[in-house]
């Protein structure tokens, strides 16, 4: 489904968000106070405006309230980032995701109602460390402090075994949400479905259980 999204701040992060949203076919409004940055996105965003993101009237007249989601990608100017976030929430944008530069910035954003705070260097650092820790872990999503979803590569150990034979839920308290084989995705696999070596298993569970499954089950 085509989504309407506002991206404010066209630095490296904001630009990357825009290019990907555009590639995925979403409808974009981009805002930056530097005209050349807005122009550079002309090809990718249906709407662009050179404006100060802390100017309430400007935001209102650009019709940001008609957008269900916004990304605030102003990192260095914390004052601007915070004020813009506050305005977007006051104007009534349902989902506001904001880039933070440090933990203090994150705390303020969470307090004023940011729906998600991203700290790219910090978040990516965790992800990379997870990848380094285990060659079997391909990707990683944190659900809460304790629970996450990881992608694990199936090894020879589980080759050609069915899910019920593996009995992952009982043995490791983990759930296999999907089995990916090349481009093919088996979503919500059945007990009789088989795993093959090099399949990508999307697994949800407690951190400790996932670690156990990864160490002993695979």
> Binding residues for ligand ATP, per CB under 6 A?
9-14, 32-34, 37, 52-54, 73-77, 80, 99, 121
Residue 13 or 147: which CB sits closer to ligand ATP?
Answer: 13
Residue 78 or 175: which CB sits closer to ligand ATP?
Answer: 78
Residue 59 or 168: which CB sits closer to ligand ATP?
Answer: 59
Which residue of the chain is nearest ligand ATP when measured via CB?
Answer: 75
CB of 67 to ligand ATP, least distance (A): 16
Query: Is the distance from CB of 94 to CB of 69 less than 8 angstroms?
Result: yes
CB of 34 to ligand ATP, least distance (A): 4
Distances (CA, A) of 215 to 115, 142, 211: 35, 19, 6
On the CB side of 45, CA atoms within 13 Å amount to 26
* Cα-to-chain-centroid distance, residue 61: 29
What residues pair up with 99 in beta bridges, in sequence order? 118
Residue 112 or 175: which CB sits closer to ligand ATP?
Answer: 112
Residue 100 or 150: which CB sits closer to ligand ATP?
Answer: 100
CB of 147 to ligand ATP, least distance (A): 27
Q: Give CA angle at 55 (53, 56), nearest 5°.
A: 110
CB of 122 to ligand ATP, least distance (A): 9
CB of 201 to ligand ATP, least distance (A): 31
Residue 10 or 154: which CB sits closer to ligand ATP?
Answer: 10
Task: Tell me 193's DSSP state.
Answer: P
The counts of H helices and E strands in the chain are: 9, 13
CB of 99 to ligand ATP, least distance (A): 6
Residue 90's H or E segment, with its range, is helix 78-91
Query: Is the distance from CB of 128 to CB of 142 less than 8 angstroms?
Result: no
């Amino acid at each position: 489904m085509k989504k309407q999204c506002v991206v404010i701040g066209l630095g490296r992060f904001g630009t990357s968000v825009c290019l990907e949203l555009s590639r995925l076919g979403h409808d974009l409004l981009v805002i930056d106070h530097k005209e050349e940055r807005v122009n550079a996105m002309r090809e990718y965003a249906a709407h662009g405006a050179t404006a100060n993101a802390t100017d309430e009237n400007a935001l209102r007249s650009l019709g940001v309230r008609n957008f269900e989601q916004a990304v605030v990608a102003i990192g260095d100017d914390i004052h601007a980032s915070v004020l813009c976030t506050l305005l977007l929430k006051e104007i009534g944008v349902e989902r506001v995701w904001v880039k933070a530069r440090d933990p203090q910035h994150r705390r303020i954003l969470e307090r004023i109602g940011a729906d998600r705070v991203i700290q790219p260097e910090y978040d990516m650092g965790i992800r990379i460390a997870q990848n380094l820790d285990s060659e079997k872990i391909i990707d990683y999503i944190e659900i809460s402090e304790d629970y996450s979803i990881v992608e694990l590569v199936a090894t020879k150990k589980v080759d050609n075994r069915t899910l019920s034979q593996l009995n992952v839920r009982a043995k490791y308290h983990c759930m296999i949400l999907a089995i990916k084989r090349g481009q093919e995705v088996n979503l919500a696999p059945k007990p009789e479905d088989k795993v093959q070596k090099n399949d990508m298993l999307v697994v949800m569970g407690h951190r400790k259980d996932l670690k156990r499954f990864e160490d002993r089950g695979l």
